[in-house]
Amino acid sequence: MGSARQWRDESRALLDLAYPDSAGSLLPIISADFRERSREIAEQRIVAAGYRLGWLLEAGLGMRVSRETQ
């Protein structure tokens, strides 16, 4: 699952995609392409975070929680 440093580096690698390419007079211009790209990246990062959280919880609590508990 990696380390916190690896997770940080993954997010840092996406930094150039985090801001719109076009600037308006005061605020950036949010194009449809940017909105879609941002949504896809956010969904991927949320899924990865969910898996990582599950992994951390399993590592920390796995032996104390019954797998049959629902």
**With b meaning 16 or more CB within 10 Å and e meaning fewer, what string describes 15-45?**
eeeeebeeeeeeeeeeeeebeeebeeeeeee
pLDDT of residue 4: 86
Report the percent of the chain where pLDDT is more than 90: 29
Give the whole-angstrom CA distance, residue 36 versus residue 57: 32
- The reported pLDDT for the residue numbered 66 is 62
